Amino acid sequence: MFVWSKLSASKWLDAWEDRFRGNPNFVMHVIKGGKSIRLEVFCATQKEADVIAEQFGGSIRKLARTDWASAAPAVPPPIKVRDKFLVTQAADPKELKRLEKAHPGRDLLSLPPEMAFGTGDHATTSTCLRILVDIAKSRPAGWSCVDLGCGTGVLAIAAKKLGAGEVFACDFDPFAVKVAERNMVRNHVEGVETKELDVLKWKPKRKYDVVVANLFSTVLIQAFPVITKLMKPGAELVISGILADQAWGVFTAAAGYGLGFPQVIRKGKWVTARGAWMNDLTA
């Protein structure tokens, strides 16, 4: 077994925690004094560790003797999303069949932990999924959707399974895009366009019925000029990845672009909101 490690300033703790959330082999240590943290990811092969090092730097070392099976925690319980989905990190075919049998009537979303955000267990992802289910109930089949910062692709996959027609998923991280594409095959979803791009530099040429943006607050605020270009008249917007103490700043910035959010959900320290054009809300 190999372990990737890196030292970082503690002020980036939340960012690192979110970046590796869903990977059961990620460990974070706060170093005495509280100003620094040490990050570790235990990997079965050096290739896995190399992928992380290529993205984030750090160092890799080989562990001489470790019982990998006992070190790796069990797959967490699946998550129910409304009456529609069952989200699991399991990938074993036998386990997936068992879950399907135990939960008839639900679409199973299999998202094994990899180096991309969005296995469904994080408050931001799970809340976005619930809102997407609610949105789909009020939309005719074939509605269009764009997923900004797609990570594992879970929201784009869910949109397709909820009846969306045109779906576009993008991420700044090329590895995340590859993970999303693998997950689409794994979950038998076709017809989702994926692309590696920087949303802040994007000049979109199409508009969508639903825009989902699960991004950090600072990125969201900078992305509103692009987000508004993506929204059709009557479109709905789902934003998340917002720390509670930063939410007011995000909503104030959004209002400057004509966007309002009548539904705001807080789970722990995270905020997710469902909104639209203010003109549509007052019509």
CATH of residue 18: 3.30.70
Is residue 74 in a domain? no
Is residue 189 in a domain? yes
Amino acid 74: pLDDT: 58
Which of 25, 46, 66 is the C-terminal boundary of a domain? Answer: 66
Which of 50, 66, 82 is the C-terminal boundary of a domain? Answer: 66
DSSP string for residues in 233-257: EEEEEEEEEEEGGGHHHHHHHHHTT
**Reported confidence tier of residue 16, pLDDT bands at 50, 70, 90:** confident
User: Are residue 49 and residue 143 in the same domain, yes or no?
Assistant: no
pLDDT tens across 107-151, in order?
999 998 765 566 677 888 999 999 999 999 999 999 999 999 998
CATH of residue 193: 3.40.50.150
User: Are residue 191 and residue 248 in the same domain, yes or no?
Assistant: yes
User: Are residue 266 and residue 128 in the same domain, yes or no?
Assistant: yes
Domain that holds residue 209: 115-282
Is residue 76 in a domain? no
User: Are residue 146 and residue 239 in the same domain, yes or no?
Assistant: yes
User: Are residue 165 and residue 276 in the same domain, yes or no?
Assistant: yes
Q: How many whole angstroms separate alpha carbon 208 and alpha carbon 212? A: 10
Which residue would you say has higher pLDDT here, 58 or 168? 168
Residue type, 238: V
Question: Which run of H or of E encompasses 210?
Answer: strand 208-214
Is residue 61 in a domain? yes
User: Are residue 8 and residue 140 in the same domain, yes or no?
Assistant: no
Is residue 254 in a domain? yes
User: Are residue 147 and residue 14 in the same domain, yes or no?
Assistant: no
Amino acid 24: pLDDT: 67
Is residue 30 in a domain? yes
**Reported confidence tier of residue 3, pLDDT bands at 50, 70, 90:** confident
Q: Record the tokens describing residue 124, joined without a space.
A: 């931001």
Residue type, 25: N
Q: Record the tokens describing residue 257, joined without a space.
A: 């672009």
**Reported confidence tier of residue 278, pLDDT bands at 50, 70, 90:** very high
User: Are residue 253 and residue 152 in the same domain, yes or no?
Assistant: yes
Task: Provide the domain count of the chain.
Answer: 2
Residue 196 pLDDT > 70, yes or no?
yes
User: Are residue 252 and residue 152 in the same domain, yes or no?
Assistant: yes
User: Are residue 164 and residue 237 in the same domain, yes or no?
Assistant: yes
Amino acid 118: pLDDT: 65
Q: Record the tokens describing residue 187, joined without a space.
A: 């979950």
User: Are residue 195 and residue 263 in the same domain, yes or no?
Assistant: yes
**SS3 sequence, 25-84?**
CEEEEECCCCCEEEEEEEECCHHHHHHHHHHHCCEEEECCCCCHHHHCCCCCCCEEECCC
Is residue 73 in a domain? no
Average pLDDT over residues 233-248: 94
pTM for the model? 0.78
Q: Tell the residue number behind the tokens 């939410």, with chain if given.
A: 247
User: Are residue 122 and residue 55 in the same domain, yes or no?
Assistant: no
pLDDT tens across 47-89, in order?
988 989 988 899 998 876 544 444 445 567 899 999 999 999 8
**Reported confidence tier of residue 43, pLDDT bands at 50, 70, 90:** confident
Query: What percent of the chain has a predicted confidence (pLDDT) above 90?
Result: 60
pLDDT tens across 242-256, in order?
989 999 999 999 999
Q: How many whole angstroms separate alpha carbon 82 and alpha carbon 92? A: 24
**Reported confidence tier of residue 189, pLDDT bands at 50, 70, 90:** very high
